[in-house]
Amino acid sequence: MNTFTSRDGTKIAYDVRGSGPAVILIDGAWCGRNMGPMPKLAPLLAPHFTVYNYDRRSRGDSDLSTDYSPDREYEDLAALIEIAGGSASLYGTSSGAALALFAAARGLPVDRLAIFEPPFTDVPGGKPMPRGYQAEVERLVREDRRSEIARFFMVKMIGMPAIMMPMMRLNPHWKAMMHNAPSLPHDTAVMEGYGFPTEVARSIRVPTIVMAGDKTFKQLREPVRLARETIPGARFASLPGQSHDAAAELVAPVLIDFFSGAATARAAA
């Protein structure tokens, strides 16, 4: 494990493996460098790239943070890009895809951008978030009510039937999820209201691929469509038989193909 200190003094943990052009992996809610899709994906990419897999703030081995401004997340990412040599390609999933998209639009030195199912669900056919959701997740974190954070997110925000919550507790990753629960306000803040950011998407000037599983949730299909049609020149990859937790073995070949020219193919601003 390696660490760096972000601009506001928060310690961020990361792993690095492989060699070649830099690729940074950005997780969605609950996940980290030791749980979720990235631990399986990183070794598949490492023969081709130098892969940076980090714990976003308030999860894993990174420090807790109660500053929920999205600016802090971009400062973390900018610091890691500097460590990676001054520029990097980004692969983000779920809220991590939104973070990667906004980071590229903000002008961070991104070579190529790959996003998997960014959950901008407050769109036609999607699912608007409950009123006051940001204040509620921040309150639950303040009161350290971690299982209630999971219930609010899964049931009220995502729309999972409440009857399934007892099964969630049987998930082998439940303990790790509870450890990472204080990071949820960072995820929800990064989503900036969950509406599709049309002007942000139109401003992207780096080669981009939008990815999705062909069996994904209904509410994610429209934001995927909007992203692939709005980001200039975006490519699209549909992964057969996959949902929001796509298998690393199917994701990796798409990323290897797309990122292979990252060092020389940055689009002009």
Note the pLDDT tens digit of each residue in 77-102.
999 999 999 999 999 999 999 999 99
pLDDT at residue 262 is higher than 80: no
Of the residues 188, 205, 227, which one is the last residue of a structural domain? 188
Q: Which range marks the domain in which residue 165 is found?
A: 133-188
What is the pTM (predicted TM-score) of this model? 0.93
Residue 88: per-residue pLDDT: 98
Tell me: do 112 and 220 sit in the same domain.
Answer: yes
Tell me: do 50 and 10 sit in the same domain.
Answer: yes
pLDDT in tens, 135-179: 999 999 999 999 999 999 999 999 888 888 888 888 888 999 999
Domain with 90 in it: what CATH number?
Answer: 3.40.50.1820
Tell me: do 86 and 211 sit in the same domain.
Answer: yes
Of the residues 172, 188, 204, which one is the last residue of a structural domain? 188
Residue 194: per-residue pLDDT: 96
Distance CA(232)–CA(205), nearest Å, equals: 7
Count the domains in the chain: 2
pLDDT in tens, 176-228: 999 999 999 999 999 999 999 999 999 999 999 999 999 998 889 999 999 99
Domain membership of residue 23 (yes or no) is yes
